[in-house]
Chains A and B, each alone.
Chain A
Amino acid sequence: MLPIILLSVFGIVLLFLGFLKTRAVLLPAALLFILIALGAGFLEWNKSYLYFGDMLLINNLAILFSTIVLISAFMVVALSGDFLEDEMAQPAEYYAILLFSIVGAMMMIGYENLIMLFVGVEILSVSMYILTGSDKRNLRSNEAALKYFLMGSFATGFMLFGMALLYGAVGSFTLTDIKSYILLSHGRPSLLLYMGELLVLIGMLFKVSAAPFHFWTPDVYEGAPTLFTAFMSTVVKTAGFAALLQLLSVSFSAIYGFWWVILAAITALTLLAGNLTAVYQNSFKRMMAYSSISHAGYLLIGLAALGQQSRSALVFYSLAYSLATISAFGILLLVAKQHTTDGRPDESYSAFNGLSRNNPLLAFVLAVSMLSLAGIPLTAGFWGKFMLFSAAVDRGMVWILILAVLMSAVGIYYYFRVVIAMYFREGQAGRIRVAPFYQFILIAATALTIILGIVPGLFQNIM
């Protein structure tokens, strides 16, 4: 609870720091604020409390998810040095909105009352709409923001309607009340409950870009400034899956038989749509958008096969995915700046040609993150997939497992295209200058990916 209050205050402080003559103080201040929030979160470790009149539940799972969100945000902010040089940029506002959006994400992670879920989703989404359109002079960015806003508010409408129906059936918004209502209904809960659950699920699945609600993702991810794409594809996804896990495991585990078929079908559809479309992309950034859809599919396996292992598997996978994604986008930011086509950064695969010759470190970082996303052993991504798949085995969902393994094989094809471009193609990439702190963040993310890949037990001890 403390991080939520702290980050809200820090966001306002950052807005006012923007009035200072120098912009140099903004980046360290934002990083410091996120670190303080990270530390404050652990004060509540091993204590489980309800806050704000049973609105918010902070337990170890919530703290772990919040930690992933804060680490992702820290890395994204650390990679944002460019803003300070750009005349048109408004760094104070960007950082403030990022901090506010983390508050929204934390509400989504720790909610106990559906109202809190709605408020959290709205805080996070509205911040994302603004940041997507923050490149005001870029038509693509404007289009992406408008698309995201229109479709996102439509999806939120579904979710709100679902919550209203749930209230109609249960007479309460709290998760535990919904649970006890289902248990007391002797297997015959009101039809409103089923419809409400489905509508809330639709709204949430839209936010995590699961098929068939994924159509906004490629356009929005491509149009948004790369840095905010990295934020969107990690923080929003982690928070969205934490919220889904909370909803399904606390409230609806008693009617698992009803929703698992629907979620399994959506999982299969998401895996197919994400992976098969990613193969045909020529832009690296657009490929990453489809890759984020396909990872939503892998994470959904953990929900469809909800069980003992799901929690730790989802946390581990979110962490592995966030680390790899942010370092991939970090490299893209650097490489795209080197080549411009029509005055825009070149984000196609060919921009990476011959990167390993003059920039072996950057090529290595990107290669490791691609391996992790593809799920190759000795990286964190492998263990993430392994844990999710074994959760599916526990539930006996063999067909979904076969599909997921096949789709990972497809994934190897498109992730390795960029690796091949970097190591085996000829290119004229010169030496790219990287700021020391930027380099440190990239190395840290890569090291963490490899460490978690070699000793995943480190992490499981914490759980």
Chain B
Amino acid sequence: MNTTYLPSDYLPIFIQLVLALGFIVGSMIVSHNIGPKRHSEKKDDPFECGIPVKGDARTPISIKYFLIAILFVLFDVEVIFLYPWAVNFKGLGMEGFIEMILFMGLLLAGFYYILRKGVLKWE
């Protein structure tokens, strides 16, 4: 197999890049220029499911949403470790099993900590 690459070997990638960028920029310029523009109060209003706009978007949101979201990401990513472990379970043997028990133990300790702290209590 060829292991050394000259800059010219990357030409197809470069052409692809130029085409992709060119399409976006080009279509934006064309659509801005050929489309008709009519401004009115109704038309410039932000549209939200047909409901009239009320207030400001910058309202304080309960920290609980954030906590739940971040916990979801945390546990989701940690559970992903189970997949490669399960695929290689036989190869890893007893040592891998003990390591995974340790990992799950730490994870569950964290879960218990969250429960005791009342993070998942909604009301």
Interface residue ranges, A against B (CB under 8 Å): 12, 15-16, 19
Contacts and interface: CB of A to CB of B under 8 A. Distances in A.
Interface string B56-85: 000000000000000000000000000000
A299 B109 CA distance: 41
Contacts of B106: 12
Nearest to B112: A16
Interface in B89-123: 106, 109, 113, 116
A15 B112 CA distance: 11
Q: DSSP majority for the B interface?
A: helix
Contacts of A12: 106, 109
Contacts of B109: 12, 16
A16 B114 CA distance: 11
A15 to B, nearest CB: 6
Nearest to A8: B106
A269 B35 CA distance: 59
A69 B109 CA distance: 28
Q: 5 tightest A-B contacts by CB?
A: A19-B116, A15-B113, A12-B109, A16-B113, A12-B106
Interface of B: 106, 109, 113, 116
A12 B113 CA distance: 9
A15 B111 CA distance: 12
Nearest to A15: B113
Contacts of B113: 15-16
Contacts of B116: 19
B20 to A, nearest CB: 26
6 contacts: A12-B106, A12-B109, A15-B113, A16-B109, A16-B113, A19-B116
A256 to B, nearest CB: 34
The listed residue with most A CB atoms (<10 A of its CB), out of B106, B109, B113, B116, is B113
Nearest to B113: A15
A428 to B, nearest CB: 43
B96 to A, nearest CB: 15
Contacts of A15: 113
Nearest to A9: B106
Contacts of A19: 116
A15 B113 CA distance: 8
A119 to B, nearest CB: 16
A15 B116 CA distance: 11
A19 B115 CA distance: 11
A19 B113 CA distance: 9
Contacts of A16: 109, 113
A16 B112 CA distance: 9
A365 to B, nearest CB: 39
Nearest to A12: B109
A122 to B, nearest CB: 16
B98 to A, nearest CB: 15
A19 B116 CA distance: 8
A19 B109 CA distance: 13
A15 B115 CA distance: 13
A199 B20 CA distance: 33
Nearest to A13: B109
B83 to A, nearest CB: 23
A231 to B, nearest CB: 23
